[in-house]
Amino acid sequence: MRKKIFSGVQPTGNLHLGNYLGAIKNFVELNNEKENECIFCVVDLHAITVKQDPNKLRNNIRETVATFIASGIDPKKSIIFNQSQVKAHSEAAWILSCVARMGWLNRMTQFKEKAGKDKEKASVGLYSYPILMAADILLYEATHVPVGEDQKQHLELCRDIAQKFNNEFGVKDFFILPEPLIQKEFSRIMSLKDGSKKMSKSEVSDLSRINLTDDKDLIINKIKKAKTDAFPIPSSLEELTTRMEAKNLLGIYSSLKNFGLEKTIKQFSGRNFSDFKKDLSQVLVDKIDPISKEIKKLLKESDFLDKILLEGSNKANEIASEKLKKIHEIVGF
């Protein structure tokens, strides 16, 4: 079946190995399947749900496009654009916010995590953010949405909103209910410093993540310093359940090699971590260093990146404004 793919990444800097293995690697594979129609969005409207420096944001938008291309997404085959340039997203988000229920949003765990203890101080946008995400997806009639595990709940909400709209207005199948595409294994890459925390752009310590712009020496150094434990690599999966850091590093290796975790364990069983880390650094350098070099090269060609965004947003605008017109008719505008 021909898939219509839509996904988004926030231009908030420090794109890292978690973004790559959880999402971007999958984007590239989907882009390479001939029959798919793919749209990859730099979600700048989502980025401003927390405070951004305007100049940094502008650079981060370009850096996200550069990362997509350096990772292997072909802008001739897939549409790449930034959300703010297609006005239909904001408008559809408003209309859908009148369909979504407070109770549904109140259950979103990512808001609770991001808002922290003082919810009163969080922006309203951070709270309603999953509705904008639903608008992104539904405007393009996406059938499949590749994301990391942390976005699963937002996709379920998107399906609920689509279903309620279709039912309430009696327009069966108007909004397509999208399927999440989440990697079966390694859909959640953890911090190199704390195996209970997600690898994240906003973590203060740069040693907690491998950035996609890190060079060879930095990668080797970060893996050397990555937290492990005092035991050798076990011979079975069960023995890893309480060893989160060990499991994460073995998972990263497996994901990069396209191995199952069991195969990696078999390969390294009985060996110590300092030994394993040498092999891990090598596969990481082989994969990330060329991407890092290409990102840096592309960042010097800002006109080229801007042209891709302009062409992409023109194409996206055609699709989205057509759908928005139909939404207007359905709600009675």
Active site residues: 114, 198, 201
Phi (first) and psi of residue 41, to 5 degrees: -115, 135
Tell me which of ligand AMP, ligand TRP, none is bound by residue 192, counting a contact when its beta carbon lies within the kind-specific cut-off of 5 to 8 angstroms. Answer: none
First to last CA, the chain: 35
Q: Which one, 191 or 264, has the nearer CB to ligand TRP?
A: 191
Our finding on whether 199 is near ligand AMP (CB under 6 A) is yes
Our finding on whether 211 is near ligand AMP (CB under 6 A) is no
Our finding on whether 150 is near ligand AMP (CB under 6 A) is yes
C-alpha 301/C-alpha 303 separation (Å) is 6
C-alpha 325/C-alpha 67 separation (Å) is 33
Check residue 16 and report its DSSP letter: B
| Least gap, CB of 277 to ligand TRP (angstroms) | 29
Tell me which of ligand TRP, ligand AMP, none is bound by residue 257, counting a contact when its beta carbon lies within the kind-specific cut-off of 5 to 8 angstroms. Answer: none
Our finding on whether 151 is near ligand AMP (CB under 6 A) is yes
What is the crossing angle of helices 302-331 and 54-71, to 10°?
100
Stretch that binds ligand AMP, among 136-144, 181-189, 210-218, 296-304 (CB under 6 A): 181-189
| Least gap, CB of 159 to ligand AMP (angstroms) | 17
Rg (CA), the chain: 21
C-alpha 312/C-alpha 160 separation (Å) is 29
Tell me which of ligand AMP, ligand TRP, none is bound by residue 287, counting a contact when its beta carbon lies within the kind-specific cut-off of 5 to 8 angstroms. Answer: none
- For the chain, where are the E strands, in sequence order? 4-9, 37-42, 79-82, 144-146, 179-181
Q: Which one, 114 or 293, has the nearer CB to ligand AMP?
A: 114
Our finding on whether 8 is near ligand TRP (CB under 6 A) is yes
Check residue 232 and report its DSSP letter: P
Our finding on whether 208 is near ligand AMP (CB under 6 A) is no
User: Which of 15, 30, 43, 295 touches ligand TRP (CB under 6 A)?
Assistant: 43
